[in-house]
Amino acid sequence: MKRTMNTWIFGIIAACFVFAVESDACTRAVYIGPDQTILTGRTMDFSIEIPANLWVFPRGMERSGQVGQNSFRWTSRYGSIIASSWDIATTDGMNERGLVANLLWLVQSEYPEFDVEGKKEGITIAAWAQYALDSFATVAEAVDSLRKEEFVVVTDFIPGTDKFTTVHLSLSDATGDSAIFEYVNGSLMIHHSRAYQVMTNDPVFEEQLAIRGYWEHVPGTLFLPGSNRATDRFVRASYYIRAIPQTSDRRVAVASLFSVIRNVSVPYGISTEGQPHISSTRWRVVADQKHLVYYFENVLTPNVLWVDLTEIDFSAGAPVRKLSLDAGQVYAGNALEHFIESEPFEFQGL
């Protein structure tokens, strides 16, 4: 019996190495509870500091794709709260209808060629998530629109670094529906299903589904892979998102989801020899899509802050407001009163 168990566990570990790839770390999980209790949590893991600020954007904002004369343009239909990176990009957020957008790194991303003088309009990758938050109330709406590929997603290096931006976009809505948008070999791939509750940065989502199919037959109470690799984080999050209490009690649901994304976080300051892309968790988010509350936790501060979107004036013409967090500012609890009117940041483009 002992030999059989050891052989079984060795086989599982071997399978992990088959699927494993080196990658920048991020994990996203959707909690689907009773009574339309839907929440989305994510970690932001990066190999360098990625300072975040929170922004409130109203409806009616005129936007540009920021790629020159061929920029795609739109006007925001919905207000949103977002987490910025370096105040040049929207990397996470939730709009007033409960649509959540998360950007996660994907090394294998390859985007279509963009001709600055061609006929096809473009949008900077820094505004990709914001466009979704501005434009859609549900995942189904986003899928129907984005599959038309009315614009080219245009990427570039993160300013001041050697990191060429390669990300995929996940969307979830207040019904629990999910979609993942990836550019693979220059083509847009859309994975759309309520069943797609968990994703990590790498590998491409089709391969993540293969990993899920394998591990669904392994009892999580007996064995779960514990490394920081994306594949292992995917397995743990997939197991725990179903193992935690399924409840409509918002306090328990939020605490439970936070416990899952902390479990798949990478300890601060961790570096792995030979695996430069495994990166420390910098901040975490839980978005309550039923009650429209956005929770934010910076690992360098001791508290969780939150913002209740039902208390925000999102009407067209309302001011843009900002909560600065990029210099170690500490807030706890409902932080809306600490937001100040600000000029909106400009998306990094060409």
First to last CA, the chain: 62
Cβ neighbours of residue 66 under 8 Å, at least 6 residues apart?
Answer: 123, 124, 126, 127, 346, 347, 348, 349, 350
Sign of the Cα torsion 231, 232, 233, 236 reads positive
Can you give the three-state secondary structure of 255-275, one letter per residue? HHHHHHHHHCCCCCCCCECCE
Domain ranges of the chain: 2-341
**β-sheet with 178-184: strand ranges across:** 187-192, 178-184, 167-172, 100-105, 89-95, 80-85, 54-57, 321-323, 340-341
Full pLDDT tens readout for the chain, 350 residues: 434 434 333 343 333 333 334 445 799 999 999 999 999 999 999 888 889 999 999 999 999 999 999 999 999 999 999 999 999 999 999 999 999 999 999 888 999 999 998 999 999 999 999 999 999 999 999 999 999 999 999 999 999 888 899 999 999 999 999 999 999 999 999 999 999 999 888 788 788 777 766 666 666 666 688 777 888 888 899 999 999 999 999 999 999 999 999 999 988 887 665 554 568 899 999 999 999 999 999 999 889 999 999 999 999 999 999 999 999 999 999 999 999 999 999 999 98
Encoded tokens for 182:
């990836």
Q: List the one residue out of 285, 244, 233 whose CA is nearest residue 42.
A: 285
- Give the chain's length: 350
- Residue 108 half-sphere exposure toward CB, CA atoms < 13 A: 18
**Residue carrying the six token digits 């306090």:** 251
333-334 and 304-308: which strand pairing? parallel
CA-CA distance, 307 to 95, in Å (whole number)?
A: 12
Report the predicted TM-score, pTM, of the whole model to 2 decimal places: 0.89
48: left (phi over 0), alpha (psi -120 to 50) or beta: beta
CA-CA distance, 23 to 332, in Å (whole number)?
A: 32
Cβ contacts of 340-347, under 8 Å, gap ≥ 24: 342/55, 344/55, 344/57, 344/61, 344/320, 345/55, 345/84, 345/87, 345/88, 346/66, 346/88, 347/64, 347/66, 347/88, 347/89, 347/90, 347/124, 347/126, 347/127, 347/130
CATH of domain 2-341: 3.60.60.10
Catalytic residue among 16, 20, 25, 26, which? 26
Sign of the Cα torsion 87, 88, 92, 96 reads positive
- Are 148 and 156 a contacting pair, CB within 8 Å? no
Q: Which residues pair with 92 in a beta bridge?
A: 83, 102
- Mark whether 16 is an active-site residue: no
